[in-house]
């Protein structure tokens, strides 16, 4: 093999390596700062989100976190009531949870007989389902009133009687919010072993 052919092969290998490295860096940047995929593992958000739904999370809407700090820059807006957010589980930061924002810093939140009140007004929640007619006290169906501290968020699942949420483990720190869920890109029904085609491309709200 001539020296020129060897140099040509080396050049090709280097070009491929550059392309692969660039693609990996872009993928890492996109996953870290722009969009991240998330799979629904439990039924706490039924009927809005089903087990087996795969969705995309908008990671820049609430700001971009500065590496190795809790500070964010380029904040377009803060989490608002009714947003469906993905966040670090406060009890174990190795796990990501997804719930709906019920109240934010400064709000007074309470529940009376399965009805949620924020600042004294009952919420209109057409997305919520109840699967248990019993009225339980001490957290699930009756709690509060509680004032949400500044910089914190109170979240709950739409499958209200089957959700492990702020009623049990407290508030979410705003800095731990990863992003807002915005679209379903895939959905697999493990019971029927088939794709839920009617859910693909659906906006999440």
Phi, psi of 141 (to 5 degrees): -110, -10
> Is 152 a catalytic site residue?
no
Residue 78 and residue 172: Cα distance in Å, rounded?
13
Question: Given 44, 163, 166, 187, which residue is catalytic?
Answer: 44
Residue 143 and residue 146: Cα distance in Å, rounded?
8
Residue 15 and residue 192: Cα distance in Å, rounded?
46
Residue 25 and residue 46: Cα distance in Å, rounded?
36
Extended strands (E) in 17-80: 35-39, 53-58, 64-65, 72-73
Phi, psi of 193 (to 5 degrees): 55, 50
Question: Given 10, 39, 71, 99, which residue is catalytic?
Answer: 99
Within 8 A by CB and 6+ apart from 202, the residues are 183, 184
Residue 114, CB-side half-sphere exposure with 13 Å CA sphere: 16
> Is 44 a catalytic site residue?
yes
Q: List Cα–Cα distances, 116 to 8, 80, 103, 153, in angstroms.
A: 69, 16, 10, 15
Catalytic residue positions, numbered: 44, 99
């Amino acid at each position: 093999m001539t020296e020129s052919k060897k140099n040509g092969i080396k050049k090709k290998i280097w070009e491929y390596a550059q392309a692969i490295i660039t693609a990996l860096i872009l993928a890492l940047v996109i996953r870290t700062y722009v969009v991240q995929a998330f799979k629904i593992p439990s039924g706490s958000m039924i009927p809005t989100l089903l087990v087996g739904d795969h969705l995309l999370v908008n990671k820049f809407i609430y700001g971009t976190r500065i590496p190795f700090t809790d500070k964010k820059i380029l904040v377009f807006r803060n989490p608002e009531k009714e947003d469906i957010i993905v966040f670090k589980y406060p009890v174990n930061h190795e796990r990501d949870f997804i719930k709906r924002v019920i109240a934010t810093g400064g709000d007074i939140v309470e529940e009376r007989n399965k009805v949620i009140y924020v600042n004294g007004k009952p919420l209109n929640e057409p997305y919520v389902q109840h699967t248990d007619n019993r009225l339980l006290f001490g957290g699930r169906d009756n709690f509060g009133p509680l004032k949400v501290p500044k910089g914190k968020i109170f979240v709950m699942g739409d499958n209200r009687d089957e959700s492990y949420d702020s009623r049990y483990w407290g508030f979410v720190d705003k800095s731990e919010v990863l992003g807002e869920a915005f679209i379903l890109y895939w959905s697999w029904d493990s019971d029927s072993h088939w794709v839920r085609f009617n859910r693909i491309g659906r906006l999440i709200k």
